[in-house]
A and B are shown apart, each in its own frame.
Chain A
Amino acid sequence: MTDSSAVSIRSVSKGFGRGTAAVRVLENVSVEIGQREFFTLLGPSGCGKTTLLRLIAGFETADQGSISIDGQDVTQAPPFRRPVNTVFQNYALFPHMTVEQNVGFALVEQQMPADRIRARVGEALEMVRMQSFARRRPAELSGGQQQRVALARALAPRPRVLLLDEPLSALDLKLRKEMQIELKLLQAEAGITFLFVTHDQEEALTLSDRVAVMQGGRILQMGPPRDIYEAPTHRFVADFIGDINLIEAEALPDNAVRLPGGTQMSLPHKARGRITLAIRPERARILAPEAGQLQAQVIHTAYLGTALVHKLALADGGTFLLRQSDLDGPQPAIGSQVGLGLPAEALRVLAQ
């Protein structure tokens, strides 16, 4: 029991509609989420994140595949028999109940005595700092406050797994940062598995133990934030998370590649045919003209406080971003020709 996954999704597919209107929303998705893990689904709008959560919560049934929670197969179980709670993307607070009654809803269903309900509701509201709003109705709260109530409502019954569908999207930046830390602490403290959905890559990287990047109903890559950021395997993943430079190149025998402009270099990976190389802006170096692997001209430099970002025009017409964190180092003048140093260990070979 202890070594079983908190959530286990095996080869799940899901489509909507029939005939010509049919759309496949999830394609053969498999995920194992460990106990007490903070797992994040990251992807652009419409890629199927909410649909996957709804399958786990039980609001949709999978066309294929199976889902278990804590080792129990729940593929056919109704939502009210699953030990998961959801923080809905649209909050879905009960408009006819006060904040207090909303948060206590699940506890009443569990037939908990009234005094224990009151204590639990108080705790949950304190956690999201909404105690002073206990008697209000949802219509009398701001979007961010409603979101926090939704969070408290889902946490109050202490589920095994909490599903969070973009729970912080309505908050302003400051409150969002605070709530991110709160969430992380809360998750560690309560020992609950979090399955978190976001399309904010920074949020995904800061909070998660592991991230799954989705696109068009598939999971492209899954792993710890650092792997996803530093070693993306797909062009989409590389592009979606942070800034990246993509270089079209031609693979040669013996792990060598020919870059645009004709320079050859060796790679730590094997590759064949035409390939795409990726390198993060902070991993490239500015060198003297004619040195390095690529030649470029500086067209713009932005000062970001902690770093300088140079925008460069490559000889073959592409642009290249380079992040210089050594603010006191030599700065190339706008319009000057420079060479770019690309360390072989910082280059990734991407699948399309």
Chain B
Amino acid sequence: MTGNPALRRLGLLTPALATIALLIGLPLILLIWISLLQKGGSSGVDWNAAPSLGNYIRLAWEEDFDGTMILNTSYLVILLRSVLQAALTTGLSLLFGLPVALWMAGLSRGQRDLMLLLITIPFWTNLLVRNYAWLIILREDGWLAQAVGSVSPIGPIPLLYNDLAVAIGLTYSFLPFMILPLYTVFEKFDWRLLEAAHDLGASRSRALRRVLIPIAMPGIAAGSLLVFIPCLGAFVTPALLGGGKTLMLGNIIQMQFGASRNWPFGAALAVVLLALMLIVMVAMAIWRNRRVR
């Protein structure tokens, strides 16, 4: 044993640091490097090109015939749509997840464990399969579409291949990520605090607003982050349930790496996506620090 504790600590940390560097750091650097190169060759990347910011510029501007740069909003629109779609999904997950988590926290030990199992079961099934299942439910002759059509005063409503279908599919996929952190806070919640609130004159809804929700805020924040971030990069659900009409950022990235064989542009899009997520997380962290003071 050496006498230097700092050195020893470093020695103990090495395996973890090496893993992070190899599995996260290196690919990230590679991604950023590729985003600065040009498309070309059979692999999709011209490794000899001079690095430039061209791919990032292409996100918002394109070159006209005479060489002037004009604004091209098509990617920006998709970016905005991705953010809105992710926000909508987060909102829906919160709406459905909150009551479920609340209800679960009130169950007996055994029932809770069963519910946790039921909630995690979908993860054992392939995402594609689960999305195809929704395809069957939502399509024109599916039972949900039929049921909606029979009660709707304006006749059948198309449920598939639109933003709504994508929102349904995404909410379904990511709902467990909202329920689990919420359940964790509610499980620890001291229900006598609600009694204290009632005692001091707060009705049920007032007690929820002033006591339960604020105390559950860390869980709400964590759940929202866990839903919002993967939603932003989702591509299976929008491709299947959106029918290729309502593209999200994930689909464009997939296309660049696949059919278009333009890795550098795909990499640039991926870096933008990462930056977006980072901004959201940093904003969240700042807000949370402010709350704790």
A contact set with B: CB distance below 8 Å: 57-59, 78-80, 84-86, 88, 90, 92-96, 105-106, 108-110, 153-154, 157
Contact = CB atoms under 8 A, between A and B. Distances in A.
Lowest 4 CB-CB distances: which A-B pairs, in order?
A106-B200, A92-B196, A79-B198, A109-B201
A92 B195 CA distance: 9
B200 A153 contact: yes
B29 to A, nearest CB: 42
Interface stretch (B137-145, B207-215, B280-288): B207-215
Contacts of B199: 57, 59, 79-80, 84-86, 154
Given A105-B210, A109-B206, A92 B200 contact: no
Contact of B193 (A92, A106, A110, A153): A92
21 contacts: A59-B198, A79-B198, A80-B199, A80-B200, A80-B201, A84-B199, A85-B199, A88-B192, A88-B195, A90-B192, A92-B196, A94-B193, A96-B215, A105-B197, A105-B202, A106-B201, A108-B210, A109-B200, A109-B201, A109-B202, A154-B199
> Which residue of B199, B202, B210, B215 has the most chain A CB atoms within 10 A of its CB atom?
B199
Interface in B206-235: 206, 210-211, 214-215
Given A59-B195, A92-B190, A105 B200 contact: yes
Interface residues of B, number: 17
A79 B210 contact: no
B260 interface: no
B52 to A, nearest CB: 51
A157 B196 contact: no
Given A80-B200, A92-B195, 15 more contacts: A57-B195, A80-B198, A80-B199, A85-B199, A88-B196, A90-B192, A92-B196, A93-B196, A94-B211, A94-B215, A108-B210, A109-B201, A109-B206, A110-B201, A157-B200
Given A94-B211, A96-B215, A80 B202 contact: yes
Nearest to B203: A80
A92 B202 contact: no
Nearest to B202: A109
Interface in B153-209: 190, 192-193, 195-203, 206
A78 B195 CA distance: 11
Contacts of A85: 199-200
A88 B206 CA distance: 20
B209 to A, nearest CB: 11
A93 B192 CA distance: 10
Interface string B240-280: 00000000000000000000000000000000000000000
A88 B190 CA distance: 13
A95 B215 contact: yes
Nearest to A83: B201
B192 A92 contact: yes
Contacts of A79: 195, 198-199
A60 to B, nearest CB: 10
Given A80-B203, A109-B202, A96 B196 contact: no
A179 to B, nearest CB: 20
B118 to A, nearest CB: 27
Contacts of A93: 196
Nearest to B217: A96
A78 B198 contact: yes
Name, among B196, B198, B211, B214, the residue most crowded by chain A CB atoms within 10 Å (CB to CB): B196
Contact of A94 (B196, B198, B201, B203): B196
A226 to B, nearest CB: 33
Contacts of B214: 96
Contacts of B210: 105, 108
A92 B206 CA distance: 17
A59 B199 CA distance: 9
Contacts of B203: 78, 80
A84 B195 CA distance: 13
A2 to B, nearest CB: 25
A349 to B, nearest CB: 43
B205 to A, nearest CB: 11
Contacts of A88: 192, 195-196
Contacts of A154: 199-200
A157 B192 CA distance: 20
Contacts of A109: 200-202, 206
B201 A157 contact: yes
B217 to A, nearest CB: 8
Contacts of B215: 94-96
A86 B192 CA distance: 12
A100 to B, nearest CB: 14
Nearest to A57: B199
B193 to A, nearest CB: 6
A149 to B, nearest CB: 12
Between B200, B201, B211, the greatest number of chain A beta carbons within 10 A of the residue's beta carbon is seen for: B200
A92 B198 CA distance: 12
A46 B193 CA distance: 22
Contacts of B211: 94, 96
A230 to B, nearest CB: 37
Contacts of B192: 88, 90, 92
